[in-house]
Amino acid sequence: MSGTQFNAGVWLTHRHVREGRGDRLAVRAGTTLTYAGLSELVGLVTAGLRGLGLRRDDRVLFVTNDDVPMFSGILSAFCGGFVAVPVSTMLGAKELGTIIADCGACVVVASPEYGPQVQEALTMAPEVRHLVCDGCMPLPAPAGITSLTWQDLVAEGERAPSELRRPAATSEDSWALWLYTSGTTGAPKGAMHRHANIRHVCETYGDQVLGIQPDDVCFSIAKLFFAYGIGNSMFFPLSAGAATLLEPRRPTPAVTAERLTADRPTLFFGVPTFYAALLSGDLPEDSFKSVRLGISAGEALPPPLQERFTHRFGVEIIDGIGSTEALHIFLSNRPGEVRPGTTGRPVPGYDIQLRDADGGLVPDGEPGSLHVRGASIALGYWRRTDASRAVFAGEWLSTGDTYVRSPDGYYTCLGRSNDLLKAGGIWVSPVEVESRLLEHPAVKEAAVVGLADEHGLDKPVACVVVQEKVTAEELIQWCRDGLAAFKRPRQVIFLDQLPKTATGKIQRFRIRELLTQEARP
């Protein structure tokens, strides 16, 4: 029932203490917390936020590194009946100011290194009343905004009446979490998620695909401000009474190797780009000896990369697809049932349809636009009516991805709907050509786009990053030898690096822009 009382913060934290699991390890970061310690801190921060004057549905925005303050702060927002809005730490001041103003945040929590852009961003956001720094000193703030430290906020909670620690009586349909999309196809949009959405992704992907258990330890390369990252590092481990590792530093192979050795995670969450970086790094072959399963999402995982990683480190990787709008992964391979080159089968609890341009269902073997239905789909975009109507249609979400389904139910990504191209009148998947290029030992990264020739017809063009010398002619012949001739790239462009989003996804539209500009007289 939509009106059923439920609070995601209580379910993820206080529930474990009530059920006798308070002494279990919950978080290992700058500070190590048991579930009892985490529950106590969340209660104090909930009271502290109320002491600042926050009311139900007020937004608390986080521009912070993955550490205990951000982690407990998000959970406190849930418990207090507020809305947590974690945003990317890579945003510039103008982008950040736009989001702060758009969501109407009244409290901003920031790490010291992001102080300059936060200070400038706050001049664009008149509704902000408080700035909380998770460091030792308050951050400079514009006039009219109270600046305090995280410890000041906790102390406020300690002084507050004990009733202010009590969780809000939220319902399943109450707002809990707003996640802003990357904005690669337009202005950032806030996807609004209910408290019940959080439980749903845990009971579906967490329980039935990961099979997460209390003894698991989760380590995610994706940060908490991503939908993928907050599921990996918060929702799944806390739902099961397991432990999570938080890493405030920028993810690198060296940092990862350090945490793998010191903390022995059992579940490792990455993206294809980072798995490639780990292969290129100087990591011992036993680095992943504690890891029982690797997880990949963000974009299709090329089979050669998957096979190389498993061969070197002995860890199976399951590839899946999710989205900010769906909160986490809804289509995935399963442990022991991996079919390389596919995104697997629907996660239990989700329905998948592939549709043609007129909205009709396509048969197996034919490309179609991927639509998904499930209880974790966002309510829509905050104050974006046109965008909401274009993406959310009743119970269904249009993902913008093109897929094909095999007769036995495995789905294969053909790219974004606007990434597919035709060569000689036949559909060509950029992912398929990229996968073939990555099989060549000289190729480190590859992206294939369609570029118009002298006749205005799109032809496949490959942009590659190489780790040893190779010619364009050799790579074209390599593709011709392994693929149908019409799928071969007509040109190969060598780049020092490929443009990517903050999550590591290749931005093919930026590659097209770059090549188009260079082709102009």
Number of neighbouring beta carbons within 10 Å of residue 417: 17
For helices 35-51 and 68-80, give the axis angle rounded to 10 degrees: 60
First to last CA, the chain: 63
Residues 126 and 203 in one domain: no
Residues 171 and 244 in one domain: no
401 pLDDT above the threshold of 60: yes
Residues 217 and 184 in one domain: no
User: Last residue of a domain, which of 384, 416, 448?
Assistant: 416
User: Which residue range forms the structural domain that includes residue 230?
Assistant: 195-416
Q: Which residue type is seen at 291?
A: V
Residues 472 and 371 in one domain: no
Task: Give a yes or no: residue 99 inside a domain.
Answer: yes
The tokens for 386 are 């046109």
Task: Give a yes or no: residue 1 inside a domain.
Answer: no
pLDDT at 492: 96
Give the domain CATH number at 130.
Answer: 3.40.50.980
Q: Which residue has the higher pLDDT, 419 or 103?
A: 103
Residues 135 and 172 in one domain: yes
**For residue range 58-74, what is the model confidence (pLDDT) as tens digits?**
999 999 999 999 999 99
Give CA–CA dist 451/44, Å, rounded: 57
240 pLDDT above the threshold of 80: yes
Paired strand residues for 396 = 373, 393
Residue from 509, 499, 503 nearest 297 by CA: 503
Distances (CA, A) of 56 to 1, 195, 343: 21, 14, 39
Give CA–CA dist 472/450, Å, rounded: 17
Residues 394 and 432 in one domain: no
Give CA–CA dist 152/160, Å, rounded: 12
Task: Give a yes or no: residue 224 inside a domain.
Answer: yes
pLDDT at 182: 60
Task: Give a yes or no: residue 326 inside a domain.
Answer: yes
For residue 186, name the pLDDT band (cuts at 50, 70, 90): low
521 pLDDT above the threshold of 50: no
Residues 379 and 473 in one domain: no
Q: 427 in helix, strand or coil? A: strand
Q: 383 in helix, strand or coil? A: coil
Residues 142 and 285 in one domain: no
Task: Give a yes or no: residue 54 inside a domain.
Answer: yes
Residues 161 and 273 in one domain: no
Tally of domains within the chain: 3
Give the domain CATH number at 507.
Answer: 3.30.300.30
Distances (CA, A) of 374 to 196, 232, 283, 346, 356: 12, 19, 39, 11, 21
Residues 355 and 242 in one domain: yes
Task: Give a yes or no: residue 2 inside a domain.
Answer: no
Give CA–CA dist 251/119, Å, rounded: 26
Residues 188 and 268 in one domain: no
